[in-house]
Structure 1
Amino acid sequence: MSERPLHDAPLHDHVALVTGASRGIGKAAALALAAAGAHVVAVARTQGALEALDDEIRALTGQPATLVPMDIGEVDGLDQLGLAIHQRFGRLDVLVHAAALLGPMTPVAHIEPSHWDRNIAVNLSATFRLIRSAEPLLRASARPRAIFLTSSRAQHPRAFWGTYGATKAAVENLVRTWADELEQTKIRAVLLDPGAMRTRMRAEAMPGEDPAKLPDPAEIGPLIVELAQADLGLPTVNVAFADWKTAGTPASA
């Protein structure tokens, strides 16, 4: 358990929603935000994995998380999630949208329509519905930050990554458009590219790669906490974990 009093933590009294919170980068974000004092609303598909996360957060901070077992591909649930957060907390200070689906690594002409539809639902439609549900909650925050995980495949297409790359490119466009519409508000959006990390998704995409040579997802936690507090002048900033790790400061664009 952390010895630092909660009122001394940098994100004390913040409410943070994290999707994909049961493993990988989402889990790293949830743990880092909780350690920084935020109350974490953790969303993932698996109840058991969420309970394991809650155990870690309790051991780290002495405080529980709010657990939301949900398949974000069933997008109507995101509307109910926003309502529940409004009723309990009245606002949302930090949003970290880490949940995503890799999809089939296959030529575009061979993608099964059912696989395409599932990727669109999880990666793109869920992002839209999450933004729609979270915006009023973020507007109620004094310093709202919305962090969306993206990928180099959004800007640099590569063979067999068509489904994932197309959805991430669409997510980037959607987030930038939304943030530009909110330029006169306090809401600031971040498109965060973690690069290659030791995650299950990376192992699925690159089965011959040695995971020991990749950064552990826990390494990105401090950057996410920093972004949750950063003074971001632009409606949207692009941040690459590799640049931050080298320079020690977010690189915006």
Structure 2
Amino acid sequence: MTINLEGKIALVTGASRGIGYFTALELAKAGAHVIACARTVGGLEDLDDAIKSVGGSATLVPFDLADMNAIDALGASIFERWGKLDILVANAGVLGVISPIGHIEAKTFEKVMNINVTATWRLIRSVDPLLSRSEAGRAAILSSGAAHKCRPFWGPYSASKAAVEALARTWAGETQRTPLRITSVDPGATRTAMRAQAVPGENPDTLPHPSEVAKAILPLVGPDVTETGKLFIVRENKLVDYRLPE
């Protein structure tokens, strides 16, 4: 399926590597101008080169999602330059540690919740007015199977992703009578640096490449999307509708 995003403005967080990098590239291939956010300047510059090589365009915004004032300023800057936002892909996140809950340091737990949950809420708050100015605003919030499986030793990450899904569903409920469509996405086990950190003994060649996952995510931000407030999972490089309890 070909998705035409010509003239669309898309914001992607965590765009310097992994799923965020390749989702940004797919958005650019489809014609969107990509606002790429990440901490790593080198990774953003590599992305910019890749986007230019396919005839696309990007604006690089290097900053740390722990900087809440920067998130607020981002929304204001987008408004001043473009007056709206059409697509949000909230991808950035951190793993924390794989450890028994009772052994986790407070600063580690707080960092995971701050980056994965508070920064996501702050981002939503910053761009919600901009997405509402789009004739077909779309938001894809990256989640994880950890939000539902709640495996032993994955406490902070699991809790943070469950909270992110709750934010997305609440936001979808509040905007369901508007053109804005919001979905949560569980990309599944993917060949990323975070996955390698979480499961160091795993053979990465057995996992889908993030470029394949990005292609599966792209339809969720297309203009034909009608569903809102749902969780989709990526399995075998295809989207599967995962129905959450009402």
State the TM bucket, normalised to the shorter chain: over 0.9
Kindly state the Cα deviation for residue 43 of structure 1 after the two structures are TM-superposed: 0.2
Structure 1 position 117, deviation (Å): 1.1
Shift of residue 109, structure 1, vs aligned partner: 0.6
2:13 is aligned to 19
1:52 to 35, 39, 46: 46
The equivalent residue for 1:251 is 241
* 2:131 is the alignment partner of 1:131: no
Q: Which residue of 2 aligns with 1:37?
A: 31
Shift of 1:224: 2.4
CA drift at 1:119: 0.8
> Would you say the 8 A contact 2:136–2:223 is kept in 1?
no
Instruction: Give the superposition deviation at 1:232.
Output: 3.6
Q: TM-score, normalised by structure 2?
A: 0.94
Could you tell me how far 1:57 is from its partner in structure 2? Answer: 0.6
Alpha-carbon distance, 1:228 to partner: 1.2
CA root-mean-square deviation:
1.5
Unaligned runs of 5+ in 2: none
Runs of 5+ unmatched residues, structure 1: 1-7
| Structure 1 residues 1-253: aligned runs within 5 Å | 10-61=4-55, 63-229=56-222, 231-242=224-235, 245=238, 250-251=240-241, 253=243
SS of residue paired to 2:140: strand
Larger displacement relative to structure 2 (209-218 or 69-78): 69-78
Runs of 4+ in 1 over 4 A off after TM superposition: none
- May I ask how many residue pairs the two structures share in their alignment? 242
- Tell me the CA shift for residue 179 of structure 1: 1.0
C-alpha contact (below 8 Å) 1:244/1:250 kept by paired residues: no
What SS does structure 2 have at the residue aligned with 1:51? helix
Partner deviation per Cα, 1:82-127 (whole Å, 9 max, x = no partner):
0000011111111001100000111001110111111111000001
1:121-145 deviation per Cα after TM superposition (whole angstroms, max 9, x unaligned): 1000001001000100000001111
Shift of 1:64: 3.0
Give me the TM-score of the superposition, normalised by structure 1. 0.92
Which string of whole-angstrom CA distances, capped at 9 and with x for unpartnered residues, describes residues 16-74 of structure 1?
0000000000001000000000000000001111111101111111x431000010011
Q: Secondary structure in 2 aligned to 1:106?
A: coil
C-alpha contact 2:3 2:219 (8 A) present in aligned 1: no
* Identical amino acids, percent of aligned pairs: 47
Please say if residues 84 and 133 of structure 2, whose CA atoms lie closer than 8 Å, have aligned partners that are also in contact: yes
Q: Which amino acid aligns with 2:232?
A: V
Structure 2 distance, partners of 1:198, 1:213, is 8
